[in-house]
Chain A
Amino acid sequence: MMKVVLFFLVFTGFTNLASAQYKGQQRIYYANEYAINAGFFGMNFTGEYFAFDNVSIVPSYSIFLPKKGKASGVDVNIRYYFTEEKLQFYGLAGYGYYTRKFEAIPNERLNFNSINIGAGGIIKLSDELGINPEIRYQTDRNDFLLKLGVVYFIN
């Protein structure tokens, strides 16, 4: 019971602070990703545009680095921000397309169309720069992706 109360207090505390990430804001990210089940790293480039206050659309492209063959992913997510200022927490949902090519079998390629569900945060270091940890699950690919990036606040 105590935990529920604590969660409620913390959540309402955050939402009270959340007077918004404002419509029209834009951000760009560079991140490194790690696919837990697949066991390899990736390099990720992300853009973000706030279509509404608190709500942003986030396209991204990842190049993964398997030991053999190639892999890449394209994601389009929607983020909802619960808090603002120095610590900005968000939940995300969206679509993820992942493709994997194998080296030993030429022309062999696997494609996955997934729903993304996840959460993350932005730790604002200055007016211009911040750090972005994130975790998301991709349903069809059946993998968890850990992400750690740098964000530049364009406006």
Chain B
Amino acid sequence: MLLKNLCRGIKVLVFLMSISINPSIAQETAITERTNLAPTTESWNGFYLKLRLSDKWFWYQENHYRRKNSIDNRSDFVGRISQVYNRFGLTYLIADNFEVTFGPTLVWNFTPDPENPEFVNSTLEPRFWHQWLLTQNVGRVKVLHQFRFEHRYKRSNLIGADYLYTNRYRYKITAYIPLNKPRMENKTLFLAPSNEIFFETGNHILNILEENRVYTAIGYTHNNFMFFGGHMWTYGPTSTPGTFRNRHIIRLNLMYTLDLRNKRRPVIKATDLKF
């Protein structure tokens, strides 16, 4: 019941924001009613890598394999390949609780209809991204505020389609709640609810509100590994004014972190060795 009310609240909020953010659209088309498309389903499988290169610098990487439902079955989660998504970056630790990451992203976007020859099988979507991450401890709960900015070149899979440039602005708040330990540490079972809101600007963008994502993950930390996964529900406008889509997405993730600082063994010239 609570979840239902929460979803309804988010829908109303997103709808109101989509109108208030772009009032000209609302006035021209006199949108007074909202149309919600039937939900679709997807499956996202992700690998995350974080390597500590020095006291201040990290290598950050995300690789996702994403599938979505079949054309004729909205509920099968895995019917068509959707995206192969690769994000890389260098992270600089500004303070213990504040870091910035920047780098490239390369996404393969696959055809929405594999049988249709008017679509190319896959297109590349390059992005430059930067992220500002603030970590906060609230009692035993670790709260992350993630401000992420993406500069994207994206096109449709229709043959001959042009690339279009957009800027994307994202804010995510995540709470890591340890269930079997007093704080997040090794061998911790945790719950990680989060909410992320997306805005988008560009010459062809009518509605700068892009999407809202509610994600509840459960996970476990084991040495250098973190296993986590859960359900994500997304809600946002489509390119048709007043029409909104929503997706149910199952996410499964593995994160691996490694500190390379004490593992580097610089090669020394044989003649420099002193015995």
Contact = CB atoms under 8 A, between A and B. Distances in A.
Interface of A: 19-20, 22-25, 30, 32, 41, 43, 50, 53, 63, 65, 67-68, 70, 103-104, 126-129, 150, 152-155
B204 interface: no
Given A43-B106, A127-B54, A150-B90, A67 B162 contact: yes
B53 A30 contact: no
B138 interface: no
Contacts of B106: 43, 63
B124 A129 contact: no
Contact of B267 (A25, A104, A128, A152): A25
B120 interface: yes
A68 B159 CA distance: 9
Contacts of B274: none
Interface of B: 53-54, 57, 59, 88, 90, 103-104, 106, 120, 124, 126, 153, 159-160, 162-163, 264-269
Given A25-B267, A150-B90, 5 more contacts: A43-B126, A65-B153, A70-B124, A129-B54, A155-B264
A103 B269 contact: no
A22 B273 CA distance: 13
24 contacts: A19-B269, A22-B267, A22-B268, A23-B267, A25-B267, A30-B88, A30-B103, A30-B104, A32-B104, A41-B126, A43-B104, A50-B267, A63-B124, A65-B124, A70-B124, A103-B159, A103-B160, A104-B159, A126-B54, A127-B266, A129-B54, A129-B57, A154-B264, A155-B267
